[in-house]
């Protein structure tokens, strides 16, 4: 239920390609009822002889000619049977569009796929049908028994070349209450027609929102006991532009979202999740014994909670899956405890169960992570969320948020992608409803680098260094380093030092803060470099400001900007350096201080030459706030000024 993908690598690429055109698993109907796909090309919306091509779309690899879907809800909230049909026609323009010939149709054990057919149409009009024997039904998560019902129909379209048209359709029959009520009008390639039809009981009051576009539905309202129809359609849709540092897909895409049947308020959503999750919290013998072990001799409730969180974080593997109601309904806590693996909602459930057995109150919380976008709290729908965490309201002054899926985050912190976002706490009384998660400001996400440098007359140097990290900076690197062997840790550090100092050769290193997980994450090291400074006739040239300097000035070089800039988190970087020059050398033309302050961040540098040592204290901070596209030129100017500050030369000469 989280943005990370636990699917095998060979499926992951196909899933990504399929999702270019999908918001969720979708399904389809024929171009015309009863049409013979082996002989007929009968498209009411298009003339097959006059389709657009590369001339009309010179920058694109494909064009979606038609993307249409129809969902029908049978019965009301109690019955919850539905069907989803989906039909898609895509024209491949060049080799960049060939990836759309690879199709994945995910579905769950509560659903079935039928009426699946597909064909390729060559530029000359030759029709090649997909052979049903080349449609494979696979488990999306074969290594995790809990999720063996998460399956997919996968196939590759036959005989596809530049100029081919790909067409396929399918239907999914959903045996439980459906949650698939969303539709993207906009895609990563141009779309000529995108339409979505919803058919449901006339008694159901359809609550929907359109984002990035104002598509109003055509409504055919039926009398009680019959079905009403809602039809949304948009034409000539520009492709969604991709930019570095852009907000998540949901915030920049023209799309439709509909509250599922029976959801009108956040209390409805909370009560629904409580009904499907609360029975799973019940403890069995394994949970009770573990809770007793973890609680024994704990000094207070905070220590109990810390032990529970750290056990789940460190001992339960995390596969991260999501499909339909399986993306929300956890497995029993007892099963999770015994198997030692589970996805985010499973881990939150185990936290709740262990806490309850230890005399603590912990609630599950539904979260929209940074990757999923900021939820629209005006539309009560579980589809606003893609992740689950836990919250203990009674420990600490503001309670404790816990996300045990991130193995690099210490107790009392949240991963950066869970912070400062509206969430749905499934608690009781005042603890039930929309809340806001905690936030670590830029100063709490920081890294400090300190180097003691012994410099030779030839420009070579030996360095005794340390790097310390807190907050998001620490947890990100901790996750990377704990997943590899010590030899790989060494290779990572060698690469890091070579980027900071050309020709660096690592001699020794030591890391603390990996296990047990704690801040700061500290790395101490020694290295040498033959080219720490550039040796010229009679002087040495250095640029100490480049050590741990930001790469952002080189990443935001395009002149135009469509989307806002969204940082993952604010970050403060501090650098201290003490350079011992060769005997008899001193600094020349030393600029002592410089500073830069703007609404985007700040930077400063201060040099001093004392007791034969050149000292540098520097810092730069990015506050992490969104930057609107109209402020992009000012942000570029800030980055350019930061780069010039870091490029300043320091010259050492003989006395």
Residue 3 lies in a domain: no
Whole-number pLDDT of residue 398: 92
Dig out the tokens for 60 from the structure: 């694109």
Task: For 152, list phi and psi in degrees, rounded to 5.
Answer: -150, 145
Residue 244 lies in a domain: yes
3-state DSSP call for residue 339? helix
Whole-number pLDDT of residue 13: 37
CA pair distance 575, 629, nearest whole angstrom: 31
The residue from 375, 409, 436 where one domain ends is 436
Q: What is the CA radius of gyration of the chain?
A: 29
Whole-number pLDDT of residue 25: 33
CA pair distance 271, 263, nearest whole angstrom: 10
Task: For 199, list phi and psi in degrees, rounded to 5.
Answer: -120, 125
Q: Categorize the per-residue pLDDT at 30 as very low, low, confident or very high, splitting at 50, 70 and 90.
A: very low
Q: What pLDDT, in 10s, does the model give residues 436-489?
A: 999 998 889 999 999 999 999 999 999 999 999 999 999 999 999 998 999 999
> What's this model's pTM, rounded to 2 decimal places?
0.87
Same domain? 30 vs 137? yes
Residue 390 lies in a domain: yes
Dig out the tokens for 517 from the structure: 């997980």
Same domain? 408 vs 483? no
Model confidence at 20: pLDDT above 60: no
Same domain? 416 vs 452? no
Q: What pLDDT, in 10s, does the model give residues 536-547?
A: 888 999 999 999
Model confidence at 587: pLDDT above 60: yes
The residue from 212, 243, 262 where one domain ends is 262
Residue 398 lies in a domain: yes
Residue 562 lies in a domain: yes
Whole-number pLDDT of residue 22: 35
Same domain? 524 vs 549? yes
User: To the nearest whole percent, how much of the chain has pLDDT over 70?
Assistant: 90
Q: What is the CATH number of the domain that holds 560?
A: 2.60.120.1130
Instruction: Give the residue among 316, 473, 300, 530 at the shortest CA–CA distance from 400.
Output: 300
Same domain? 351 vs 454? no
Whole-number pLDDT of residue 431: 63
- Give the C-alpha distances (Å, rounded to integers) separating 500 from 254, 545, 601: 42, 10, 22
Computed over every residue of the chain, the mean pLDDT equals: 90
- Strand segments, DSSP code E, in 44-190 are 62-74, 81-92, 102-107, 111-121, 127-129, 136-139, 151-156, 165-174, 182-184
3-state DSSP call for residue 298? coil
Same domain? 68 vs 203? yes
Whole-number pLDDT of residue 78: 56
The H or E element containing residue 47 is: none
Same domain? 556 vs 469? yes
Residue 40 lies in a domain: no
What range defines the domain where residue 73 resides?
Answer: 9-35+45-262
Q: What pLDDT, in 10s, does the model give residues 97-122?
A: 999 999 999 887 778 999 999 999 99
Whole-number pLDDT of residue 627: 97
Whole-number pLDDT of residue 12: 35
Whole-number pLDDT of residue 319: 79
Model confidence at 324: pLDDT above 80: no
Q: What is the CATH number of the domain that holds 432?
A: 3.10.620.30
Q: What pLDDT, in 10s, does the model give residues 343-353?
A: 999 999 999 99
Q: Categorize the per-residue pLDDT at 433 as very low, low, confident or very high, splitting at 50, 70 and 90.
A: confident
- Characterise 340 by phi-psi region: left (phi > 0), alpha (psi -120 to 50), beta (else): left
CA pair distance 385, 207, nearest whole angstrom: 17
Same domain? 244 vs 350? no
Mean pLDDT within 396-404: 96
Model confidence at 310: pLDDT above 90: yes
Same domain? 256 vs 279? no
Residue 361 lies in a domain: yes
Whole-number pLDDT of residue 28: 36
Whole-number pLDDT of residue 413: 97
Dig out the tokens for 235 from the structure: 């034409």
Same domain? 244 vs 290? no
CB 85 within 8 A of CB 68: no
Q: Categorize the per-residue pLDDT at 6 as very low, low, confident or very high, splitting at 50, 70 and 90.
A: very low
The residue from 214, 234, 262 where one domain ends is 262
Mean pLDDT within 486-497: 96
Q: What pLDDT, in 10s, does the model give residues 39-83?
A: 889 899 999 999 999 999 999 999 999 999 999 987 655 556 789
Same domain? 418 vs 489? no
Residue 4 lies in a domain: no
Question: How many domains are there within the chain?
Answer: 3
Q: What is the CATH number of the domain that holds 56?
A: 2.60.40.3140
Q: Based on the number of CB atoms within 10 Å of its own CB, is 159 exposed (0-12), middle (13-18) or buried (19 or more)?
A: middle
Same domain? 530 vs 404? no
């Amino acid at each position: 239920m989280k943005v990370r993908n636990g699917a095998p690598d060979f499926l992951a690429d196909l899933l990504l390609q399929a999702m270019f055109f999908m918001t969720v698993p979708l399904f389809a109907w024929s171009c015309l009822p009863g049409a013979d796909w082996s002989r007929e090309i009968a498209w009411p919306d298009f003339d097959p002889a006059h389709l657009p091509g590369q001339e009309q779309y010179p920058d694109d690899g494909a064009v979606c000619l038609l993307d249409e879907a129809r969902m029908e809800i049978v019965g009301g909230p109690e019955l919850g049977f539905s069907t989803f049909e989906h039909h898609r026609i895509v024209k491949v323009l060049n080799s960049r569009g060939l990836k759309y010939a690879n199709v994945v149709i995910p579905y769950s054990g509560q659903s079935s796929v039928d009426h699946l057919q597909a064909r390729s149409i060559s530029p000359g009009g030759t029709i090649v049908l997909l052979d049903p024997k080349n449609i494979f039904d696979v488990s999306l998560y074969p290594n995790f028994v809990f999720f063996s019902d998460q399956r997919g129909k996968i196939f590759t379209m036959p005989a596809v070349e530049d100029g081919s048209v790909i067409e396929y359709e399918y239907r999914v029959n959903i045996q439980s209450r459906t949650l698939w009520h969303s539709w993207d009008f906009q895609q990563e390639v141009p779309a000529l027609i995108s339409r979505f039809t919803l058919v449901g009981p006339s008694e159901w009051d359809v609550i929907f929102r359109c984002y990035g576009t104002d598509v109003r539905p055509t409504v055919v309202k039926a009398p009680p006991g019959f079905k009403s129809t809602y039809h949304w359609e948009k034409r000539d849709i520009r492709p969604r532009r991709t930019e570095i540092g852009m907000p998540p897909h949901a915030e920049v895409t023209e799309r439709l979202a509909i509250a599922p049947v029976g959801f009108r308020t956040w209390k409805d959503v909370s009560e629904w999740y409580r009904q499907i999750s609360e029975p799973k919290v019940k403890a069995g013998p394994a949970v009770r014994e573990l809770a007793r072990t973890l609680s024994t001799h704990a000094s207070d409730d905070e220590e109990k909670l810390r032990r529970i969180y750290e056990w789940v974080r460190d001992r339960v593997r995390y596969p991260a899956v999501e499909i339909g109601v399986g993306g929300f309904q956890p497995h029993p806590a007892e099963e999770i405890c015994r198997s030692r693996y589970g996805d985010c909602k499973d881990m939150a459930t185990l936290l709740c169960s262990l806490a309850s057995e230890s005399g603590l109150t912990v609630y599950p919380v539904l979260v929209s992570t940074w990757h999923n976008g900021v939820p629209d709290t005006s539309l009560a729908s579980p589809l606003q969320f893609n992740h689950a965490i836990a919250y203990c309201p009674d420990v600490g002054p503001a309670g404790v948020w816990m996300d045990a899926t991130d193995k690099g985050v210490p107790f009392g912190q949240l991963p950066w992608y869970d912070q400062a976002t509206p969430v749905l706490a499934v608690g009781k009384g005042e603890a039930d409803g929309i809340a806001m998660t905690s936030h670590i400001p830029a100063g709490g996400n920081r890294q400090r680098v300190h180097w003691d440098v012994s410099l030779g007359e030839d420009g070579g140097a030996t360095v005794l260094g340390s790097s310390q990290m807190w907050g998001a900076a620490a947890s990100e690197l901790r996750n990377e380093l704990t997943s590899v062997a010590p030899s790989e840790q060494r290779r990572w550090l060698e690469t890091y030092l070579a980027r900071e100092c050309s020709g660096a050769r690592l001699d020794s290193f030591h890391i603390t803060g990996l296990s047990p997980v704690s801040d700061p994450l500290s790395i101490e090291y020694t290295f040498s470099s033959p080219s720490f400074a550039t040796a010229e006739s009679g002087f040495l040239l250095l640029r100490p400001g480049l050590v741990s300097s930001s790469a952002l000035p080189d990443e935001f070089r395009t002149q135009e900007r469509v989307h806002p800039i969204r940082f993952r988190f604010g970050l403060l970087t501090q650098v201290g350096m003490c350079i011992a020059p060769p005997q008899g050398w001193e600094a020349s033309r030393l600029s002592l201080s410089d500073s830069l302050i703007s609404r985007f961040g700040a930077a400063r540098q201060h040099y001093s030459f004392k007791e034969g040592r050149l000292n540098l204290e520097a810092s730069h901070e990015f506050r992490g706030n969104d930057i609107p596209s109209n402020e992009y030129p000012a942000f570029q100017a800030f980055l350019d000024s930061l780069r010039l500050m870091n490029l300043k030369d320091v010259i050492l000469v003989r006395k």
